[in-house]
Amino acid sequence: MRHAWMVVLLAGVSLCGSCASGPADGLPDAGLSDGSQDAGSQDGGPLDGAGDSQPEPSWKVCADWPTGEARDIAAAGSRLFTANMYGLQVYDRSDPASPALLGRYPTPGEAWRVAVDGDRAALADGRHGIAILDVSDPSAIEIIASLPLDGEARGVTLSGDLLVACSSRAAPRLFDLSEPASPVALGELPGYTAEAAFWGQRVLTFGPLRSPDDPPEVCTLDTRQVLRVMDVSDPSAPVELGSIQFGSVGHDPACEGHAVVMPQDGWGLVVHGQYLYLVETESRVRILDLSVPSEPQEIGRVSMPVSWVRGLVIEAGRLLASTEDGVLEFDIGDPLDPVLTETIQIPAGRFIQSLDVMGGRVAALSAGKLHELHLLDAADLNLLGVVNIGHPYIGQVAQDASHAYVAAHPGLTVVDLDDPAGPRIEAMREDLGEMRTIALAGSLALLAGQDRILTVDLSTPARPALMGTLELGSLDARSAAVQGELGLVVSGSTAISLRVIDLADPARPALAGQIDLPGKASEPRVALSEGIAYAACGTEGLAVIDVQTPSAPERVGSYVPWTAEGVYEVAVSGDLAFAAAGPFVHVLDVSEPSQPSLVADVDTPGYATRIAAEGERAVVGDTYDLVQISLVR
């Protein structure tokens, strides 16, 4: 029997201690779709009642959520704009030791470059092209227009009504933004480039000399790059004024007869007067003299005090450089001898790696510079406690009433949760090798990694005991699920496979069956409920597999969302499945597993990639925040 549901987006919360309630200031509007779009499922329309009036989403968002290292930066007065894998962030840098987050704009791609002119910003957002944004109010950034490109958007520069967009597959393109909502393409600049910068009525472009469509001969090492100076005073007819090349062509000594090595993309350039600062390596910047535009000359190099230099910008006569350790500010009174004067401490970033919900408690495993386990109250998402896991690689988390268990490299970490405000690491098994995923059934844990599946006895959490091992060669495990004597492991990325594991004798786990699934996903995930498996297959959406006969798993249903992003993870609770699918969470009725039916689409403020559910409530890992979704009949 199918039910009618109402979907309520209750709260969004960052993994920090001090939160503000109210509408989602600084985030795109969150909303609900009643499923009336063509959902691409066998039953694409809403259930009866799904389209009824629904309450406005309410939010609880922390302003100090760490948003990560800056891949690129732009500056306007005291405002600092940073681009990274989460999107765009805007800070007040008046206090360099503690910049205040003014607003942010999560993007569907991975932001590589940002350019700002007045109240307008342009963001190079990978395969999602260029986003033109209104940043007049940093707390409520709005998108004005999007520019799709051939290949991934990797570079962008902006001056007045002119914009140059650089992609990974094509020549840089020049656009007119006189009508910001309707950009007009003016033409292309010569060459293939990943970086560009305006210099008055000129544009400087930098990138590999050789086009990606014209690869070098086998076994050549081609590191040639070229800087071009273009006159764009007539945007419809750009003229090349001069250029300078770097790098060389030679034989690759490591070549085994098939290797082709292309030069790396540039990482940042900016002009100050007649001087150009150009990132050469992760820790070195070239200085060029442009006083004769037809003959750019390299006149010096500067070694940076840190590594991972990416973006450069000039603001108020100072050179700012985005690095792994924050934004560095240099005095360039002597342009050939920049002097470090300040470090702006951008908070260390993290993203939500794995979620689990049990007994009203959320366990959120975050990854970044710090790998931490956060405990939250599922009712209101208030933070209870946090512990640093410490491993260089972490996989997924599962919890029972008193402990959380983290699959890691190496092995397994056990966290005591008796005092949620002060969780502590109780045990570590570092002799288990690389473990990526974990699932629990009572005191039995099923772990899986690159080449094997393990069963571990957790009846004494302080001393987890290895019970059995199943060697499977190139397993490449990504997710696991357990129910009774049945275990599941999903593996692969370009080719997804579901393996059914017989756990009747935990000391001798055995491969019972296997089925290949469609789609491509970097982290395919699986959920198990009453003998039915639900696999998130990325580009091909959700696959439903009957595993009640372990030796012959059978695909019995599917759901392909109308969004182009695919499904990243699925959580099942009773007759409901929650599919995290980028811009949306798709809520499905799976009371008839062979015919998943759309209940509602929940438009979350960020980008939904992780999800866990308990009862009629789901918690979503949504780029910056944890977002809570609740359903009522």
Please give the Cα distance from 18 to 587 (Å, whole number). 30
Q: Are 480 and 447 in contact (CB under 8 A)?
A: yes
What are the pLDDT digits (tens) for 4-44?
555 666 555 555 433 333 333 333 333 344 333 333 333 33
What stretches of 135-218 adopt beta strand conformation (E)?
142-147, 153-159, 162-167, 173-176, 184-188, 195-199, 202-208
Is the model more confident about 37 or about 525? 525
Q: Are 267 and 278 in contact (CB under 8 A)?
A: no
Please give the Cα distance from 379 to 376 (Å, whole number). 9
Which tokens hold the place of 546?
């009957």
Which tokens hold the place of 269?
């350039």
Question: Does pLDDT of 67 surpass 90?
Answer: no
Question: Does pLDDT of 326 surpass 80?
Answer: no
User: What pLDDT is attached to residue 565?
Assistant: 73
User: What pLDDT is attached to residue 55?
Assistant: 31
**Residue 347: band (very low, low, confident or very high) from pLDDT cuts 50, 70, 90:** low
**Residue 473: band (very low, low, confident or very high) from pLDDT cuts 50, 70, 90:** confident
Kindly list the strands in the beta sheet with 412-416, ordered across the sheet, starting from the edge strand earlier in the chain. 393-399, 403-409, 412-416, 424-429
Q: Determine if residue 473 is left, alpha or beta; phi over 0 gives left, psi from -120 to 50 gives alpha, anything else beta.
A: left
Q: Are 595 and 2 in contact (CB under 8 A)?
A: no
Please give the Cα distance from 342 to 319 (Å, whole number). 11
Q: Are 598 and 557 in contact (CB under 8 A)?
A: no
Is the model more confident about 20 or about 134? 134
Which tokens hold the place of 422?
């002060």
Closest CA to 413 of 397, 428, 398, 430: 428
> Strand, helix or coil at 131?
strand
User: What pLDDT is attached to residue 243?
Assistant: 95
- The mean pLDDT value for 203-210 works out to 86
How many Å separate Cα 307 from the centre of its chain? 22
User: What pLDDT is attached to residue 568?
Assistant: 92
What are the pLDDT digits (tens) for 151-194?
889 899 999 999 999 988 888 999 999 999 999 999 899 888 87
CA-angle at 284, arms to 289 and 79, nearest 5°: 80
Average confidence score pLDDT of the chain:
83
Q: Are 225 and 209 in contact (CB under 8 A)?
A: yes
Of 130-134, 265-269, 483-487, the one with minimum mean pLDDT is 265-269
With a threshold of 0.75, does the pTM exceed it? no
Is the model more confident about 222 or about 296? 296
What are the pLDDT digits (tens) for 397-407?
999 999 999 99
Burial per residue of 514-535, b for 16 or more beta-carbon CB atoms within 10 angstroms, e otherwise: ebebbbebebbbbbbbeebbbb
Which tokens hold the place of 446?
């099923």
- The mean pLDDT value for 331-360 works out to 85
- The mean pLDDT value for 516-536 works out to 93
